[in-house]
Amino acid sequence: MSLAAAFAVPDVHQLLDDLVHRRVPDERGRFGPFGGAFVPESLVQALAHLTRGAQEALSDADFRAHLDQELQDAVGRPTPLTPAPNLGRELGLNVFLKREDLAHTGAHKINNALGQALLAKRLGARRVVAETGAGQHGVATAAACARVGLPCTVYMGAVDVERQAPNVARMRLLGADVVSVTTGEATLRAAIDEAMRAWVADPEDTYYLLGSALGPHPYPWLVREFQKVIGDEARAQVLDRTGALPDVVVACVGGGSNAIGLFHAFVPDSDVELVGVEAGGSAAGDAATLTRGRPGVLHGSYGPLLQGAHGQIHETHSVSAGLDYPGVGPEHALLQLTGRARYLAVDDEQALAALSLLCRTEGILPALESSHALAALPGIAAERPGATVVLGLSGRGDKDLPTLVPRVLGGGA
């Protein structure tokens, strides 16, 4: 069954027009059939308050100017668009890397964390709660909350606490209270569950700083607005460097914040192909939601999910903690539905091989999440030899050393 049939979509062409002309989400927080806000009654007013406050803040020139200055002073924006000539020669492509790994705290997550921390302060929140998988959002939230002067608690699955130990230490050094979640599969989904429970318990004084472009409205829109700086910069940078738009823009997709941030500026450019790369995992399972998901509701949003015949959410697997999630942001689902973007999956071993290739050719250690996007490049080269590609290097790989040492170095340092 096609995605359009599965979600009972009558007019895909109209949805594509809405995407291109920036008419999504609608007033209900829907990206076509996807998204919305399916939450307990206790959160309805909190979400309405957040929506009003976010709309006011993002239309306030002073707030925007303050955020832009913070992104420059505290984050190090704009991040470079780095040519990768050695990698490109090996693959037969003209590759440019959008270097979010060089942003403060080592990933794109700081763009959204700082924006939402400033918003939480503006709205009068007394504390912040957040979830994290790979740990980068947790580190970014801890750093942002320290910057604005708010206490924060970060929920993290026990499996991820173990495999992302360096980031757990960084969060605690930055002043965050890190809570290890042992329920469920003890990865990102379980961490989101616990963070949402903490928010439900105290919606007036607690601000939930969601880390990806998913969850109930207004979060998919809000996170995109804070992450679209990636694509705005990349589009201007590649035009300045080459005089033309790229042929392909590619990024990894878990929940999808770095990808939607990079893709957004290029959506109206019909000649630019958008490629999202999910976690194909291994024989133990995968996290390829857009590749094989079915309709359902998870964490307040309607869209494709990895689930069984009776609606039980599947446990997921990926070598990359940040892609280990059974859902996806609603805007990505709409991009796929309309054909404006295509999504594919690469497995753990392909991602590890791509990581090693970038290390060897360019002297850059990427995050395992970003390595999934890198693993798509050989296929793109086979389809479009010589193409100019902008790839979102969403984070650096230091955090992944506990995983990489046994898997890539055979246990030796």
> Rounded distance, CA 17 to CA 21, Å?
6
**pLDDT at 129 > cutoff 80:** yes
Task: Evaluate whether 96 touches 374 at the Cβ level (below 8 Å).
Answer: no
The answer on pLDDT for 147 being more than 80 is yes
- DSSP H/E element including 172: helix 165-173
Mean pLDDT of 121-137: 94
- Give the C-alpha separation, 244 to 372, whole Å: 26
Residues 301 and 306: their CA atoms lie apart, in Å, by: 14
Q: What is the mean pLDDT of residues 355-369?
A: 98
Question: What is the pLDDT at residue 6?
Answer: 66
Distance, CA of 81 to CA of 97 (rounded, Å): 5
Task: Over range 328-342, report the average pLDDT.
Answer: 97
Q: What is the mean pLDDT of residues 201-221?
A: 96
pLDDT grade for 31, boundaries at 50, 70 and 90: very high
pLDDT at residue 1 is higher than 70: no
Top pLDDT among 351 and 411 is at: 351
What pLDDT band is residue 184 in, cutting at 50, 70 and 90?
A: confident
Reported pTM: 0.95
Domains and CATH numbers, the chain: 33-69+109-223 (3.40.50.1100), 77-107+225-408 (3.40.50.1100)
In which band, very low, low, confident or very high, does the pLDDT at 39 lie, cut at 50, 70 and 90?
very high
Residue 137 predicted with pLDDT over 80: yes
**Cβ–Cβ under 8 Å, residues 95 and 377:** yes
What's the confidence (pLDDT) of residue 2? 58
> Is residue 14 pLDDT above 70, yes or no?
yes
- Asked whether residue 291 carries a pLDDT value surpassing 70, the answer given is yes
272/256 Cα distance (integer angstroms): 19
More confident residue, 309 or 218: 218
Q: What is the rounded average pLDDT for all residues in the chain?
A: 95
Q: CA torsion, points 142, 29, 306, 383, in degrees to nearest 10?
A: -90
Rounded to whole angstroms, how far apart are CA atoms 208 and 11? 35
**pLDDT tier at 412 (50, 70, 90 boundaries)?**
low
Instruction: Give mean pLDDT, residues 311-321.
Output: 90
Q: What is the pLDDT of residue 3?
A: 62
Q: Is residue 149 a contact partner of residue 125, using CB atoms and an 8 Å limit?
A: no
pLDDT score at 48: 96
Report the C-alpha gap between 226 and 67 in whole angstroms: 9
Active-site residue list? 109, 131, 394
Q: Which of 10-16's residues contact partners 24+ apart within 8 Å by CB, and which partners? A: 12/337, 12/338, 12/339, 15/334, 15/337, 15/338, 16/338, 16/339, 16/340
The pLDDT of residue 36 is above 90 = yes
